[in-house]
Amino acid sequence: MAAKGATVFWEPMTYYNSQSWHKADGYSNGNMFNCTWRANNATFTNDGKLRLALTSPSHNKFDCAEYRTNFNTGYGLYEVSMKPAKGVGTVSSFFTYTGPTDGTPWDEIDIEFLGKDTTKVQFNYYTNGVGGNEKIIDLGFDASQSYHTYAFDWQPDSITWYVDGVAKHKATRNIPKTPGKIMMNLWNGTGVDDWLGPYNGANPLYAYYDWVKYTSN
């Protein structure tokens, strides 16, 4: 239940709502990202889902997808119904982010699925660029096979992550404080085989998102 006076943003992923969302296009995050964001790789299915694609237009070149809000949000409850891609060397995500390109500290809160084992989910966060807070949770199911609800409750003194409404992990140290954008992406890595496993070029791969909800404090 939303707190009295809370703002609720709920988006069914049925079409491209350009008033609220933006598709990354034509650039790469560099370093570990072995692909270029393409707006055409963020599309909507006939049954009303956002589909992020990882594709290869030519040998050893890869295109990926990122979708993010046009506005910033802060403390509150973040929820998503999604189905990540399965594929070694890839990441499907739901997170909040702000950083130097926005003129702010690098603050980030993550829900990440490593495609090498989609029976697990990784939670993480960065505060002013300081990370090292990874926590891997066994789900008891294969997340790539069906939609489930994943969430985190971001408060000034804690972050609590949930799977299908059940609390799975809580952090209380050095919590981020800078509002950021709600983001989702699918990408393939390079030079991070110890984390993601080696990407073998398999494509196309898809991550699907049914809806997103944010409830402020």
Residue with tokens 């110890």: 194
Phi, psi at 4, each rounded to 5°: -60, 125
Residues with Cβ within 8 Å of residue 97, at least 6 apart in sequence: 68, 107, 108, 180, 181, 183
Residues with Cβ within 8 Å of residue 100, at least 6 apart in sequence: 106
pLDDT tens digits, the chain, 217 residues: what are they?
A: 455 678 999 999 999 999 999 999 999 998 999 999 999 999 999 999 999 999 999 888 999 999 999 999 999 999 999 999 999 999 999 999 999 989 999 999 999 999 999 999 999 999 999 999 999 999 999 999 999 999 999 999 999 999 999 999 999 999 999 999 999 999 999 999 999 999 999 999 999 999 999 999 9
Of the residues 11, 66, 79, 112, which is catalytic? Answer: 112
Of the residues 11, 79, 108, 134, which is catalytic? Answer: 108
Q: Report d(CA 212, CA 78) in Å as an integer.
A: 8
What is the greatest pairwise CA distance in the chain? 54
Residue 1: what pLDDT?
44
- The helix/strand/coil state of 100 is helix
Phi, psi at 143, each rounded to 5°: -65, -25
Residue 4: what pLDDT?
63
Structural domains of the chain ordered from first start: 25-216 (2.60.120.200)
79 flagged as catalytic: no
134 flagged as catalytic: no
Give this prediction's pTM: 0.96
Residue 3: what pLDDT?
57
Q: Tell how strand 61-69 and strand 36-37 pair up.
A: parallel
Residue 140: C-alpha distances to residues 64, 119, 164 (Å): 28, 6, 12
